[in-house]
């Protein structure tokens, strides 16, 4: 299988014109662990690669330890390359594609294995360190440019290098990436290149997708939601946590390149293997339905007890049991989920899949994606050189980290609500051509005037007005930091003063509104910070459709030209973001997003009436695949409906596809809690 080079064509890899969906694991040997180059045991690699193939995987990622390959500056260790050659040979033997990762470096828990000759220099910025890294990747590119077993070169794992993470800027990340890609391309034009990033988009860190997308061939996300409680204050098996891979995939995809979920997993030292298996299943199917082109589990095997006394395992007990096999090489339930998914994927034809167009967009501010951009500041020389943003200094000192959590956590809420309403939702950037989308979502703080990377530029609002006048639908929610110039034209209401919630905010519909019924109520826990505050609205041409507990306007609808707007006086998405377990049970805010969908006149190609069910469409002309995922704990029965006239529906089970009974416009689905499945559908064609 891997005797021929895989190419990235469109969203998916292909080999000889046949699409390849990447499914595999990261590999760290169970006994030798991070010391494997110094305790080299090729028999272990052979045995484990064999087991990977028995599990029906096609891909393995592993580390190339910098100090082992380059023990002195510019001096390469031929023993290390001999080991690498053996790894390549074994991967060929078991038909595995490989993803070698340069400059390790940081890996597993708190470990960082520094090169002894760095002498305090910054690897992403120091000219000599950059030169040495350029020469290092050139050496690999020159030696292995024709090696078909290599699927992609990974420039490093989870940069910036941990030991200098706080000192790395966007410019350093861009320059480093550009330099290394250009170096590889001097010898190797065949292999794809990525940077194995983690949390860069949701943390607005220097290696985020928009900073490096032009240089690399595809992007990486490493969702570990249970280690990020600021975004995911929920159990492992919960809606918000199991949406993490889809959310990060779509956020990165907004930068314009395909996305691989290059690490994900959970530790059996923290959760039962059975719950981890449900987590794997739900997250993998969810990411697949969001267009991810690969899924790579962390990691293949647990650590043997004999090395628990070594760092990093000594200091990081959770790292001992991330394996999809245990230390005795018995397949864990999560490994069985990988095997079953592999059998489902083998029944799919990815060659003809075209990812569906978005129906709704959550705008990512330009300065969140790219940082300060003086070319857009409206000042010409010589005055531009005199302008210095004090905000950047303030943010670095006090507010940047907490400031990032506020928008991203609200985007996550809006993303889940849109998915509950069965909208195709993504993350266009502020200066993209988002006007082609029927519905734009601006959850607070996008409507605010806080840190500039939290909100859209002032000029956005006139563009938004033209968008609505031309027929678009725009939704915004407000907080106590809101500021929208001349907003009365756009929303039919203006800002009068802040409202400080007294521990909670309640919204009641006072009339029917596109599926919402008069008397329906929404109740939220709310603090007293500006981010939690609402706004007292002075309504002019707008229509009040809901009020708060003090009978103030809470939701205002307005028509403008051929389009329409909807404005919430409260930051509903933020309230959900800061509430643990907010999306569990019968949380009703999705009904507002469903009404928004109806308000915009949108119909999804496939729909169902259960908000716990995610529908991921992967169409191919008059047929395609529908990924159906239950993000709830309870088994469900629901009906999938479509405006298409169906000729055939098959469920792709791990054993074999089975043809379903269906009527012309839908079929019934039974799903266990936290479980996904895939249906192949074919529509009737007119003669």
Tokens found for residue 483: 């500021």
pLDDT of residue 398: 44
Cis peptide before 105 (omega within 30 of 0): yes
Is the separation of the CB atoms in 209 and 255 below 8 Å? Answer: yes
Which residues, in sequence order, are bridge partners of residue 259?
219
Report mean pLDDT in 10-residue bins for the chain, 687 residues.
82 94 97 94 98 98 96 97 98 98 77 84 96 98 98 95 85 98 98 96 96 98 96 98 98 98 98 98 98 98 95 91 97 98 96 95 97 84 70 56 87 98 98 98 95 94 98 98 96 97 96 98 94 97 98 98 98 98 96 98 96 97 96 97 96 93 95 98 84
Tokens found for residue 532: 């939690």
pLDDT of residue 107: 62
pTM: 0.97
Cis peptide before 634 (omega within 30 of 0): no
Q: Are strands 360-362 and 59-65 parallel, antiparallel or unpaired?
A: unpaired
What's the angle, vertex CA 507, arms to CA 501 and CA 511, rounded to 5?
Answer: 155
DSSP conformation class of 160: S
DSSP conformation class of 601: T
Residue with tokens 């305790």: 39
C-alpha–C-alpha distance, residues 442 and 452, integer Å: 15
What's the angle, vertex CA 184, arms to CA 206 and CA 82, rounded to 5?
Answer: 110
Is the separation of the CB atoms in 558 and 564 below 8 Å? Answer: yes
pLDDT of residue 621: 87
pLDDT of residue 3: 66
Q: In degrees rounded to 5, what are phi and psi of residue 580? A: -55, 140
Tokens found for residue 404: 């990032």
Is the separation of the CB atoms in 387 and 58 below 8 Å? Answer: no
For the chain, the C-alpha Rg in angstroms (whole number) is 26
pLDDT of residue 399: 46
Closest Cα partner for 418 from 590, 303, 298? 590
Domains of the chain, earliest start first? 7-352 (3.20.20.80), 360-599 (3.40.50.880), 606-683 (2.60.40.1180)
What is the chain's length?
Answer: 687
Q: What is the 3-state secondary structure (H, E, C) of 301-349?
A: ECCCHHHCCCCCCCCCHHHHHCCCECCCCCECHHHHHHHHHHHHHCCCC
pLDDT of residue 418: 98
C-alpha–C-alpha distance, residues 232 and 627, integer Å: 24
pLDDT of residue 323: 98
DSSP 474-511: EEEE--TTB--TTHHHHHSEEEEEEE--SSEEEEEESS
């Amino acid at each position: 299988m891997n005797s021929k080079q895989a190419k990235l064509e469109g969203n998916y890899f292909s080999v000889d014109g046949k699409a390849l969906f990447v499914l595999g694991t990261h590999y760290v040997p169970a006994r030798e662990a991070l010391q494997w180059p110094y305790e080299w045991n090729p028999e272990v690699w052979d045995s484990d690669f064999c087991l990977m193939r028995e599990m029906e995987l096609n891909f393995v990622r592993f580390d190339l330890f910098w100090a082992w390959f380059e023990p002195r500056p510019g001096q390469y260790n031929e023993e290390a390359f001999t080991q690498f050659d053996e790894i390549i040979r074994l991967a060929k033997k078991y038909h595995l594609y490989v993803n070698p990762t340069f400059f390790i470096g940081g890996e597993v828990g708190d470990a960082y294995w520094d090169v002894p000759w760095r002498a305090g220099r910054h690897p992403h910025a120091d000219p000599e360190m950059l030169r040495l890294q350029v020469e290092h990747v050139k050496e690999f590119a020159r030696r292995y440019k024709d090696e078909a077993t290599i699927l992609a070169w990974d420039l490093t794992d989870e940069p910036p290098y941990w030991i200098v993470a706080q000192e790395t800027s966007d410019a350093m990340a861009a320059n480093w990436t550009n330099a290394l890609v250009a170096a590889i391309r001097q010898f190797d034009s065949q292999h794809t290149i990525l940077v194995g990033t983690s949390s860069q988009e949701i943390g607005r860190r220097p290696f985020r997708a928009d900073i490096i997308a032009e240089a690399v061939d595809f992007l990486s996300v490493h969702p570990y939601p249970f280690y990020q409680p600021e975004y995911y204050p929920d159990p492992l098996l919960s809606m918000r946590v199991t949406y993490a891979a889809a959310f990060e995939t779509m956020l990165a995809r907004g930068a314009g390149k395909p996305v691989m979920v290059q690490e994900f997993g959970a530790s059996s030292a923290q959760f039962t293997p059975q719950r981890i298996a449900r987590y794997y299943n739900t997250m993998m199917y969810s990411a697949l339905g969001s267009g991810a082109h690969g899924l790579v589990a962390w990691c293949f095997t647990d650590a043997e007890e004999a090395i628990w006394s070594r760092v990093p395992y000594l200091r990081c007990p959770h790292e001992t049991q991330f394996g999809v096999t245990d230390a005795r090489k018995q397949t864990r339930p999560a490994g069985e989920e990988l095997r079953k998914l592999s059998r489902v994927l083998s029944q799919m034809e990815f060659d003809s899949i075209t990812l569906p167009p978005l129906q709704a967009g959550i705008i990512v501010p330009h300065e969140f994606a790219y940082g300060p951009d003086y070319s857009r500041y409206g000042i010409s020389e010589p005055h531009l050189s005199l302008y210095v943003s004090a905000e950047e200094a303030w943010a670095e000192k006090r507010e940047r980290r907490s400031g990032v959590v506020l928008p991203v956590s609200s985007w996550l809420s809006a993303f889940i609500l849109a998915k509950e309403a069965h909208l195709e939702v993504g993350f266009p950037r502020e200066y993209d051509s988002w006007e082609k989308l029927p519905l734009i979502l601006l959850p607070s703080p996008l409507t605010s005037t806080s840190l500039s990377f939290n909100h859209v530029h002032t000029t956005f609002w006139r563009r938004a007005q033209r968008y609505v006048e031309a027929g678009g639908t725009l939704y915004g929610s407000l907080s106590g930091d809101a500021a929208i110039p001349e907003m009365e034209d756009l929303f039919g209401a203006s800002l009068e003063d802040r409202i400080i919630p007294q521990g909670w905010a309640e919204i009641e519909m006072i009339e029917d509104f596109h599926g919402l019924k008069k008397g329906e109520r929404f109740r939220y826990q709310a603090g007293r910070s500006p981010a939690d505050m609402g706004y007292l609205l002075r309504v002019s041409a707008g229509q009040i459709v809901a009020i708060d507990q003090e009978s103030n306007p809470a939701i205002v609808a307005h028509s403008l030209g051929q389009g329409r707007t909807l404005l919430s006086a409260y930051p509903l998405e933020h309230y959900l973001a800061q509430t643990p377990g907010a999306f569990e049970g019968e949380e009703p805010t999705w009904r507002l997003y469903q009404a928004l969908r109806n308000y915009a006149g949108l119909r999804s190609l496939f729909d169902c009436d259960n908000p716990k069910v995610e529908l991921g469409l992967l169409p191919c002309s008059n047929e395609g695949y529908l990924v159906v995922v239950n993000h709830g704990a309870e088994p469900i029965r629901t009906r999938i409906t479509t405006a298409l006239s169906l000729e055939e529906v098959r469920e792709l089970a791990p054993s074999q596809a089975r043809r379903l009974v269906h009527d012309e416009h839908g079929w019934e689905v039974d799903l266990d809690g936290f479980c996904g499945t895939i249906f192949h559908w074919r529509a009737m064609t007119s003669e």
